[in-house]
Each structure stands twice: as structure tokens, then as C-alpha cells.
Amino acid sequence: MQKTSSIVIIGGGVIGCALAYQLARRGVKDIVVLEKEYLTSGATGRCGAGVRQQWATETNCLLAKESVRMFENMNEELGYSKDIEFKQKGYLLLAYTDDQWNQFKKNVKLQKSLGIPVEMVKPQKAKEIVPHLNIEGLIGATYCGTDGHANPFHVTYAYAEAARKLGVKIETYTEVIGFEVEKGKIKKVKTNRGDIYAPIVVNCAGPHSGEIAKMAGEEIPIYPERHQALVTEPVESIQDPMVISFHHHIYCQQVPHGSFVMGMGDPNEPTSFNQKSSWQFLEEMAQKVVSILPPLKDIRVVRQWAGLYDMSPDANPVIDELASVKGFYTVAGFSGHGFMVAPITGVMVAQLILGEETSLPVHPFGLERFKRGEYLLEHSVV
Amino acid sequence: MRIENHPILIFDRGKILSFFFNGEVIKGYEGESIAAALHAAGIKVLSHSHELHHPRGLFCAIGNCSSCLMVVDGQPNVRVCVEKLREGMRVETQKGKGCLTQ
């Protein structure tokens, strides 16, 4: 492995690979991506694969909207030999309480003001969009037809392939074990396969980014939290949009292959690195999804798994340089919606590092916001 | 064809049952799988591959491989190698990946 580099990116997930490509595209040489296992082995490869623009904060709406635009042209932009499988079949968000409905009204007003094509729909209209939806107890829903899903493996490989063509070195099975900091500046990254000198390090380690920052000597408020998902056998296509119920903490989509992919968040899940799947999830997931989408009672589950969200205190990312270690950037804390905003994140972070003006403002994602109490509270998280 | 004598297994065949395969009446024994009854009746193509539509027959015969998915009494993706035969059941060749009843 090489001994020097211009920028070391830690983490071979979608964020790290997108960033590597965007930096290389801007002419940066000697970029190294370090991944402790294989590409997509962490949160990226375990995610629900959804891409939505219907958020409650302006920052998330804009990140997602710009990313959708990039997903639309990604195969061509990256010269990808396969297909990232981006399908814009919409997202249907269900409201079961007046509080939720009122929140949705505010969200839609914000989303519309930002140019996101979203509409509020009555239960009957929701049933036209998803004919097998059980509308009992449903107050209303919001629908955005340009939301959708993409294949997180292909997206990551597409960025990695394009980055490699531009000279980026991707070192898999290479674990970061420490740093050398000199006079408040990052100097060296220590790995299980040797050390690399680097004047700039970007921490894209998702749920492990807290540990990585600690190795550099600073605490950042990013915590791992287990979320679980499952996939069913394929059947003929019956469901276009992703269906989300914040009330039930579930999401469910039918992927192009015909399988249903669904997941659930547990509000009582403790912070930990546990990413084992459980039978309790299987039981609860099945009950909830069948109550909302009854025909799924006859479908068989093929596989279940768990992954880790990189949670931040306000469910929004941290994009910032460490105050005490210059040259050490954190790009993590995406709290379950990192995949869908990865394309524009790669662009913004590359611009930030190179001292260019960023496409969207980066300052709202600073670490200082937690100290100042300026939380970007995002409620629309499963 | 049915195996009558086997060195280890005992075939405890019950009474004769009638069922439908694509509308045609076929007979089998109570206690055997749908696949066994179809096989005995000379029906060896159980499904078709999704991409190239090649015929597929019994492969694992223990409910693992998805080579024998058929529509049974309206329900798609039934593994007929492990589903027991019942009187009057309607077994049909499945087209495509199967449609969930809405």
C-alpha cells in the first residue's frame, strides 16, 4: 500500500465513494479510500434503498432534490457499464393522526416552496395510487411522483469504478487503527496494513465515525443504532410507490425484480453496534405491513438482515472540520437517509475541501450547532 | 411412475383423491405431495424460468429451490414438492412471478 496521499477517505460506502469521485473529477491526485471490509459492507449495503424528497427541513429537502436530479443522469455521468436501477415510482407517506396530518401540511408547504412536486391526497386517492392499501384509520397521505429508489450496490460501484478510472486507490480490508496529529493538524493515518501520510482525512465511516473521530482525539455526537429489514420472494409488480407510515415506523417498497423490501425502526432501540437480526422484528414487521398492505399476507420472506444508522442528535448529518484537528473532516450522521443524499453530498464536500463555493450551504451541518442548541430537527425519519 | 418398494422409506398411501391440473382431473393418493401425484401422472414440467422461460421440473424436492412453484387454489408460488395433496384442489401452471390476490 502507498505511503503518501493527498486525501484519505475513510469508509467505502456510498458517501466515501461519491466523494472520492467528485474530488478526482476536480483534478485531485493521490486519493486513497480505506474500507475495513468490502465496498457497501456497512450501512449502504443494508439500507432500504429509497430516494425521497419529502422532508420536514429545508436542508434535507434541498439535498434530496439535488440528488434526485443527479440520480436521473447517473449512469451517463459516471459512464457506468451496468445500471443503477433508479426508478421514479413515487413515495406515499401515510398520516394516521391529526398531529401527523398537520405536520404533513407544513411539510408540503415547505416542499412546494422549494419546487418539489408533492401533493396531499385523500384516503380514496391514496388507494388509487396503491390499490391494495388498507385505508382504514387513514386521515390522508402525501405523494411525490419523482421520489423513488435506486440500487445502493450499483450506485456505490458506479462511483467507485468512475473514481478508479480517475486514479483513486481503493484499499479494501484495510482498517484505520489510529492517527498522528501534529500541532493541531492531521499528519498520518495508521492502518492494519501500514501508515499513510495525509494532510487531509475525511471520516465517512457512518456508524463508526464516532470511534474514528475519537482516535483523532475528539468526541462527535454520532451513534450507531440498529434498524432491521427483510426481503420477500418476487411476485408480479403491484406496487409502484414506496409506502411509509411514521405511525407504524415502517416502510415498504416493491423493487423492479418483484421482491418487496421493507423495514422498521424501533423507537426503543438502544445505541449499540449490535447488527444481528431478530425474530421479534420478523413478527412485528409482518403484522404491521399486513395491516397496511393486506395482500402481503400470502407472500414469503426470503431473507432478513440488520444494519446501523449513524444517528446524530437532530437526525441530520455533520459536515465539518474538527476544531482541534485541522484537515480532519467529518461527513457522517445521516441518520438513515445518507444513501439518498449521497450524490450531492459528494459534490458539496469536495467543494468544501477545495475551498470552492458549495452548491448548497454547508454551514447548517456544522458541529457547533449542537453546542449552540440550533438543532435542525427532522421528524420524518423511520 | 411411482416407487413401490424402497429399502428405507415406507409409502403409507391413503385413499385415492381427485384434483385438477390446469382443469384436467388427475388422481393421486392422500398423504403424498402434489409433485408426487403430478410426477406419477407423467407431468414433469412444473414451472418456467423467469428470464429465458426454460421448463423446470422437480429439483430439490424438499422445499428449498423454488423450481416447482405453482398456483394452488389461487395462491401463487406454492412449493408443490412439500404441499400435501387434498381432494378437489386446483393446481395450475404459474405464468411469470405469480400474482398476489388483492
What is the domain-level CATH number for residue B76?
3.10.20.440
Residue-level pLDDT at A15: 98
Q: Please give the residue that has the higher pLDDT: either A204 or A1.
A: A204
Q: How confident is the model at residue A140 (pLDDT cuts 50, 70, 90)?
A: very high
Query: B53 in contact with A at a CB cutoff of 8 Å?
Result: no
Q: How confident is the model at residue A363 (pLDDT cuts 50, 70, 90)?
A: very high
Q: How many residue pairs bridge chain A and chain B with CB atoms within 8 Å of each other?
A: 33
Q: How confident is the model at residue A374 (pLDDT cuts 50, 70, 90)?
A: confident
What are the Cα distances from residue A79, in Å, to A30, A69, A155, A290, B38?
Answer: 21, 16, 12, 41, 50
pLDDT tens, residue by residue, A238-278: 999 999 999 999 999 999 889 999 999 888 889 999 999 99
> What are the φ/ψ torsions at residue A51 (nearest 5 degrees)?
-130, 105
* pLDDT at B35 exceeding the cut of 80: yes
Tally of CA atoms within 13 A in the half-sphere of A364 that contains its CB: 17
CA atoms of A376 and A336, how far apart (whole Å): 15
Looking at the structure, tell me whether residues A238 and A197 fall in a common domain.
no
Average pLDDT over residues A271-299: 95
Q: How confident is the model at residue A96 (pLDDT cuts 50, 70, 90)?
A: very high
Q: Least CA distance to B79: which residue of chain A?
A: A300
Contacts of A372 (CB under 8 A, 6+ apart): none
Least Cα separation, residue B87 to chain A (angstroms): 22
Chain B residues close to A127, C-beta within 8 Å: none
Residue-level pLDDT at A381: 76
pLDDT tens, residue by residue, A142-154: 999 999 999 999 9
Domain boundary residue among A287, A307, A327?
Answer: A307
Q: Please give the distance of CA A313 from its chain centroid, rounded to a whole number.
A: 16
Helices and strands in chain A: count of H runs, count of E runs:
10, 19
CA atoms of A290 and A298, how far apart (whole Å): 9
Domain boundary residue among A253, A276, A307?
Answer: A307
CA atoms of A221 and A218, how far apart (whole Å): 10
Contact B102 A131 (CB under 8 A): yes
Q: How confident is the model at residue A136 (pLDDT cuts 50, 70, 90)?
A: very high
CB A249 within 8 A of CB A264: yes
Handedness of CA A133, A135, A138, A141 (dihedral sign): positive
For chain B, the domain total comes to 1
Looking at the structure, tell me whether residues A269 and A234 fall in a common domain.
yes
Looking at the structure, tell me whether residues A218 and A324 fall in a common domain.
yes
* Residue A288 belongs to domain spanning: 87-146+224-307
| Neighbouring-strand partners of residue A94 | A141, A245
Domain boundary residue among A258, A287, A307?
Answer: A307
Contact B97 A258 (CB under 8 A): yes
Query: B102 in contact with A at a CB cutoff of 8 Å?
Result: yes
Contact A298 B66 (CB under 8 A): no
Average pLDDT over residues A17-39: 98
Looking at the structure, tell me whether residues A19 and A137 fall in a common domain.
no
Contact A296 B100 (CB under 8 A): yes
Looking at the structure, tell me whether residues A105 and A232 fall in a common domain.
yes
Looking at the structure, tell me whether residues A164 and A299 fall in a common domain.
no
Residue-level pLDDT at A117: 97
CB A159 within 8 A of CB A339: no
Residue-level pLDDT at B11: 84
Using DSSP, state whether A290 is helix, strand or coil: helix
Chain B residues close to A135, C-beta within 8 Å: none
What are the Cα distances from residue A352, in Å, to A345, A347, A376?
Answer: 10, 9, 20
Q: What is the residue-averaged pLDDT of chain A?
A: 96
Least Cα separation, residue A206 to chain B (angstroms): 36
CB A131 within 8 A of CB A294: no
Average pLDDT over residues B38-51: 94
Residue-level pLDDT at B12: 82
Residue-level pLDDT at B18: 97
Residue-level pLDDT at A373: 85
CB B76 within 8 A of CB B102: no
Q: Do the domain assignments include residue A70?
A: no
Residue-level pLDDT at A326: 97
Parallel/antiparallel/unpaired status of strands A223-232 and A260-264: antiparallel
Least Cα separation, residue A294 to chain B (angstroms): 8
* Residue B63 belongs to domain spanning: 16-92
CA atoms of A252 and A193, how far apart (whole Å): 41
Average pLDDT over residues A46-58: 95
Contacts of A129 (CB under 8 A, 6+ apart): A90, A92, A121, A143, A240, A241
* pLDDT at A44 exceeding the cut of 90: yes
Mutation target to probe the B interface, by most B beta carbons within 10 A, among A236, A239, A255, A260 is A236
Looking at the structure, tell me whether residues A157 and A303 fall in a common domain.
no
Contacts of B22 (CB under 8 A, 6+ apart): B91, B92, B93
* pLDDT at B2 exceeding the cut of 90: no
> What are the φ/ψ torsions at residue A155 (nearest 5 degrees)?
-60, -45
Contact A132 B96 (CB under 8 A): no
Average pLDDT over residues A296-317: 95
For chain A, the domain total comes to 2
Share of chain A above pLDDT 90, in %: 94
Residue-level pLDDT at A4: 96
* pLDDT at B102 exceeding the cut of 90: no
Looking at the structure, tell me whether residues A242 and A296 fall in a common domain.
yes
Whole-complex ipTM: 0.82
pLDDT tens, residue by residue, A159-197: 999 999 999 999 999 999 999 999 999 999 999 999 999
Average pLDDT over residues A226-230: 97
Residue-level pLDDT at B4: 86
Q: How confident is the model at residue B43 (pLDDT cuts 50, 70, 90)?
A: very high
Q: Do the domain assignments include residue B65?
A: yes
Contact B77 A235 (CB under 8 A): yes
Query: B66 in contact with A at a CB cutoff of 8 Å?
Result: yes
Chain A residues close to B67, C-beta within 8 Å: none
Contact B100 A300 (CB under 8 A): no
Residue-level pLDDT at A379: 73
Q: DSSP readout, A3-54?
A: SB-SEEEE--SHHHHHHHHHHHHTT--SEEEE-SSSTTTTTGGGS--EE---
* pLDDT at A378 exceeding the cut of 90: no
Average pLDDT over residues A46-71: 95
Average pLDDT over residues A105-129: 97
CB A382 within 8 A of CB A336: yes
Q: Please give the residue that has the higher pLDDT: either A267 or A56.
A: A56
Q: What grid cell was written down for B57?
A: 421440473
Contact A131 B98 (CB under 8 A): no
pLDDT tens, residue by residue, A307-327: 999 999 999 999 999 999 999
Looking at the structure, tell me whether residues A245 and A296 fall in a common domain.
yes
Q: Do the domain assignments include residue B42?
A: yes
Looking at the structure, tell me whether residues A231 and A303 fall in a common domain.
yes
CA atoms of A253 and A264, how far apart (whole Å): 12
Residue-level pLDDT at B16: 96
